[in-house]
Structure formats: C-alpha cells, structure tokens
Amino acid sequence: MKTILIALPTGEQEQNRFRQIAEEREADCQFVFTATDVVTEAQVAEANFILGNVKPQWIRASENLDVLQLFSAGADAYMKPGRSEERRVGK
C-alpha cells in the first residue's frame, strides 16, 4: 500500500475528493492529511508521495519516496548534494 502525504491545509470536501479519486482508480493507498507547519519527520519518511512543502532535510530520510510535488517556484533546496543526489533525475 502506498502512503500519500498531503502537507497542505485541506478541508473535508477536498479530502473526500482525494479519497474518491483513489477509489475510482482502485488505488491501493492511504492518505495522511496534515498542514505544512505540523508535518512530522516520521510522516515524511514513510510517504511514497508528498504533496506540499516539507523540510528539505527530511527528504533524505524518505527511502520510500517516489514523487515530491512542491508548492513553490524552486526546488533547489531539495536537490542539494547529500539530500537526494543519488535519486535525482538527470544526475
């Protein structure tokens, strides 16, 4: 089962829509909804997909991470050597 961490403020309607889309596609996943300012390092480490900005230094600990979708213009802080260098696309 994939873990999708949504580190953004979301309401019940938005959360239900995410779940509905997953159900329609028969996706084997679980959602973790939290806000950027309260997300934990453990949540980041367990996530396969992260939607939102989390602390860049926590990305290195995420062995399961397949996709990181940021809500910022730049990703430089997330791509510094030692954070995710060995998994970076186009290295």
Each residue's pLDDT tens digit, 17-49: 999 999 999 999 999 999 989 999 999 999 999
Q: How confident is the model at residue 90 (pLDDT cuts 50, 70, 90)?
A: very low
pTM for this entry:
0.82
46-88 pLDDT per residue, tens: 999 999 999 988 987 788 899 999 988 778 777 766 545 555 5
Q: Is the dihedral of CA 20, 2, 31, 35 positive or negative?
A: negative
**Sign of the Cα pseudo-torsion (61, 65, 70, 76, in order):** positive
CB 8, CB 51: distance < 8 Å:
yes
Q: How confident is the model at residue 91 (pLDDT cuts 50, 70, 90)?
A: very low
